[in-house]
Amino acid sequence: MSNISIIGTGNMARAIGELAVAGGNTVEIIGRDQTKAADLAKALSGGTTTGRFGAVPAGDIVIAALLYANVVPVVAHYGEALAGKVIVDISNPFNSTADGLAIPEDTSIAQEVAKTAPVSASVVKAFNTIFGVVLSQGRPLDVFIAGDDARAKAAVAEFIETLDLRPLDVGDLNMAHWLEGTGLVVMGLARHGVGHFDFALGATTAA
């Protein structure tokens, strides 16, 4: 079981929070809006607590469940309060038409978080290829993860397993750029070939 803090009170925060509580993890919800955070913590139950925005989070793993444009500013705001933490970036930096990324080719939100966070923190990209609506159904799903720190990836993988999901390592943090691109492919499939949002991308091996 893991000690998790989730910064954010939106759909992804709720979906991951529900799975995290069901998986027996200790969960803390943090929001700029303390009332929203308290409401979500109450809805999650299972002893979920709330933390003060900007203070040292209670969890060893801190999930930034924020819109992509807010991730780096929030990590910068936290500063040394994130020292030693494993920061999980789940964002998709889609452009306004969701057919390209709103960031340069040589980086990703996760890599920008790594540049911004304390040197003692580790950043892992995860969950961005899964729609919240699918995640909240909790069925077996593959969660692609990328990061430079093997111990941080192992910690996040262990957490993901408590959610009854399958963590699949894609490689170093520079792969976060391509995981964010894979988020675009998932969006393209939802709009075109699949035609709905109730699916997930996964790796299937021969039966």
SS3 of residue 133 by DSSP: helix
- Any contact of residue 161 with a copy of itself (CB under 8 A)? no
Interface with a copy of itself by CB under 8 A: which range of 11-19, 53-61, 69-77, 175-183?
A: 175-183
Among candidates 34, 29, 71, 66, which has minimal Cα distance to 47?
A: 29
- Any contact of residue 206 with a copy of itself (CB under 8 A)? yes
Map tokens 């900007």 to a residue. 54
Contact set for a copy of itself, span 126-145 (CB under 8 A): 134, 137, 139, 144-145
- Any contact of residue 125 with a copy of itself (CB under 8 A)? no
The strand pairing partners of 26, in sequence order, are 3
Among candidates 125, 106, 104, which has minimal Cα distance to 114?
A: 125
Provide the CA 155 distance to its chain's centre, in angstroms: 13
Mark residues 92-111: x for contact with a copy of itself by CB under 8 A, - for none: -------xx---xxx-----
- CB of residue 156 to a copy of itself, shortest distance in Å: 12
SS3 of residue 31 by DSSP: coil
- Asked if 88 contacts 96 with a C-beta cutoff of 8 angstroms, the reply is no
- Any contact of residue 168 with a copy of itself (CB under 8 A)? yes
SS3 of residue 128 by DSSP: coil
- Any contact of residue 154 with a copy of itself (CB under 8 A)? no
Residues near a copy of itself (CB under 8 A), total: 42
Which residues here bind a copy of itself, judged by CB under 8 A?
A: 99-100, 104-106, 134, 137, 139, 144-146, 167-172, 174-175, 177-179, 181-182, 184-185, 188-189, 191-194, 198-207
